[in-house]
């Protein structure tokens, strides 16, 4: 498979004056995009699918005339494509506005179900069930995305107990033993991301699932509530195989713009509304089986379906290409800077996403933000895009993983994509080399003055 191109070249530069006051753009400088964990461009096939749906499927999907039926058919086909990508049942997939909504919907649903179950006299035996009005308890880890962390912190104010389990400083993972040790009688949800957006570390979700299922059998005998398992798969989809059967999860979050699709999302719910409860946050026209009402965004859903279809067809090739380019990037960094100047923030023995490289330059003046500000070719980030306003403060995720403060403060995250080439890696590494040299030169000049 030939890799598709990402928008790694953008026009920049000053305007040149021409006779008569006219201005001419100077030749564009070449830039290299390595921030695919923040977002990805739309695949050309996705753009065509969205455009076609805008033109031909403009009708309300709930309407019976041809344009409405066409829209409904497109939505149904997209649902099937998403289900196939994750090895699930189309009836268990609902469309949402994105990952934030999907994650919030899971938390909202499980807490509401717990409270409804424990105000019902028939839910459990009086001897074993938590006391009426008991506080629901949720277990998560310390490196989750803000769309999990912040709703859970807010839920504490709403009488929900939350345990943030530290990740291992050796593996960078939320270890199954630690997750299970945090469980209480009133635990109703475990939510652990499938792969971390900054380190690329893949979490042991299948093992956590097996352990939770075994524990649920014991809890059922004692009349305790079932623990449901959720994983936010935003960073993993399109980069590695994701199968809900293998993972053993009850909920899985899907985010389109992380795998070259539009900025909407979906939520997988195993046995939607029957085996696994889901309670809507919105009320309206009854779309998505009343679980997520609102007139469907047909063009974006169509694009999401096409992006999922491409992942199903090409995931192995995407993964192999990204791993080759990422590994080459790390080789070039060490070769150009040496191990005394560059530190790869890796966790030996832990599986990583194939596209993610987190590293730090060692030196007091080489903070990540400062290095990127000096770059003229490379487009990248120091970590999660939603933390881009944190200045030179080190990433909480890296600190949680045991990365020393000064190393974490200097961290950069480069995340390559389907179209990133080795030639672009060479350009990016040279740009970094020049950026570091400028910063070190400025520091020497300042010290000498």
What's the rounded mean pLDDT across residues 194-210?
98
Phi, then psi, of 95 in degrees rounded to 5? -90, 140
pLDDT at 448: 81
H or E stretch covering 137: strand 137-141
Q: Is the pLDDT of residue 27 over 60?
A: no
What's the rounded mean pLDDT across residues 269-284?
94
- β-strand partners of 361: 342
Total residues belonging to the chain: 449
Distances (CA, A) of 429 to 178, 358, 406: 39, 14, 22
Q: Is the pLDDT of residue 28 over 70?
A: no
pLDDT at 344: 98
Q: Is the pLDDT of residue 308 over 60?
A: yes
Contact between 140 and 162 (Cβ < 8 Å): yes
Task: Tell me the C-alpha distance between 405 and 422, whole Å.
Answer: 31
Structure confidence by residue, pLDDT tens digits, 383-436: 765 555 556 789 999 999 999 999 999 999 999 999 999 999 999 999 999 999
Task: Tell me the C-alpha distance between 78 and 81, whole Å.
Answer: 5
Q: Is the pLDDT of residue 113 over 60?
A: yes
Task: Tell me the C-alpha distance between 64 and 185, whole Å.
Answer: 50
What's the rounded mean pLDDT across residues 128-137?
70
Phi, then psi, of 212 in degrees rounded to 5? -65, -40
Q: Poorest-confidence range of 44-53, 136-145, 375-384?
A: 375-384
H or E stretch covering 30: none
Contact between 418 and 4 (Cβ < 8 Å): yes
Q: Poorest-confidence range of 9-23, 304-318, 362-376, 384-398?
A: 9-23
Residues 6+ apart with CB under 8 A from 284: 293, 294
pLDDT at 17: 43
Catalytic residue, chosen from 141, 357, 386, 401, is 386
Range picked from 4-18, 284-298, 382-396, 403-417 for highest mean pLDDT: 403-417
SS3 400: helix
The answer to whether residue 36 is catalytic is no
Q: Where are the alpha helices (DSSP H) in 165-297?
A: 176-181, 205-222, 244-247
Task: Tell me the C-alpha distance between 102 and 94, whole Å.
Answer: 9
* Token pair listed for 21: 């006051």
pLDDT at 123: 43
Residues 6+ apart with CB under 8 A from 17: 23, 24
Q: What's the chain's average pLDDT?
A: 91
Residues 6+ apart with CB under 8 A from 273: 289, 291
Q: Distance between terminal CA atoms of the chain?
A: 56
Structure confidence by residue, pLDDT tens digits, 322-361: 999 999 999 999 999 999 999 999 999 999 999 999 999 9
pLDDT at 118: 80
pLDDT at 277: 96
Q: Quick one: three-class SS letters along 308-354?
A: HHHHHHHHHHHHHHHHHHHHHHHHHHHHHHCCCCEEECCCCCCCECC
Bigger pLDDT: 121 vs 352: 352
pLDDT at 30: 86
Q: Is the pLDDT of residue 12 over 50?
A: no
pTM over 0.85: yes
């Amino acid at each position: 498979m030939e890799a598709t191109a990402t928008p790694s070249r953008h026009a920049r530069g000053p305007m040149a004056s021409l006779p008569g006051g006219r201005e001419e753009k100077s030749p564009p400088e070449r830039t290299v995009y390595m921030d695919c964990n923040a977002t990805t461009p739309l695949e050309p096939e996705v753009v065509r699918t969205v455009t076609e749906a805008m033109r031909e499927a403009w009708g309300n999907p709930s309407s019976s005339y041809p344009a409405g039926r066409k829209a409904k058919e497109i939505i149904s086909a997209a649902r099937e494509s998403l289900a196939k990508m994750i090895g699930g049942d189309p009836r268990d997939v609902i469309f949402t506005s994105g990952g934030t909504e999907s994650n919030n919907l899971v938390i909202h649903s499980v807490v509401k179900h717990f409270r409804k179950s424990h105000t019902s006299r028939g839910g459990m035996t009086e001897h074993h069930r938590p006391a009426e009005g008991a506080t629901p308890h949720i277990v998560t880890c310390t490196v989750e995305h803000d769309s999990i962390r912040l709703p859970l912190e807010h839920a504490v104010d709403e009488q929900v107990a939350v345990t943030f389990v530290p990740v291992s400083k050796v593996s960078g993972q939320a270890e199954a033993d630690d997750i299970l040790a945090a469980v209480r009688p009133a635990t109703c949800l475990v939510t652990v991301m499938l792969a971390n957006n900054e380190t690329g570390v893949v979490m042991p979700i299948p093992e956590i699932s097996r352990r939770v299922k075994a524990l649920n059998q014991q809890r059922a005998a004692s009349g305790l509530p079932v623990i449901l398992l959720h994983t936010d798969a935003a960073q993993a989809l399109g980069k590695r195989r994701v199968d809900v059967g293998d993972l053993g999860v009850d909920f899985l979050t899907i985010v389109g713009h992380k795998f070259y699709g539009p900025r909407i999302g979906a939520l997988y719910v195993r046995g939607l509304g029957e085996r696994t409860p889901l309670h809507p946050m919105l009320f309206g026209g009854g779309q998505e089986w009343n679980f997520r009402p609102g007139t469907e965004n047909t063009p974006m859903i169509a694009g999401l379906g096409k992006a999922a279809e491409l992942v199903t067809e090409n995931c192995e090739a995407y993964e192999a290409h990204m791993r080759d380019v990422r590994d080459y990037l790390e080789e070039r960094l060490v070769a150009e800077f040496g191990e005394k100047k560059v530190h790869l923030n890796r966790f030996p023995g832990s599986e990583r996403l194939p596209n993610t490289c987190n590293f730090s330059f060692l030196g007091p003046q080489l903070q990540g933000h400062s290095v990127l500000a000096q770059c003229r070719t490379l487009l990248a980030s120091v970590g999660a895009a939603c933390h881009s306003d944190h200045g030179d403060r080190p990433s909480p995720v890296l600190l949680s993983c045991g990365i020393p403060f000064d190393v974490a403060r200097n961290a950069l995250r480069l995340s390559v994509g389907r179209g990133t080439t080795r030639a672009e890696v060479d350009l990016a590494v040279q740009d970094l080399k020049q950026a570091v040299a400028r910063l070190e030169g400025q520091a020497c000049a300042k010290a000498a003055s």
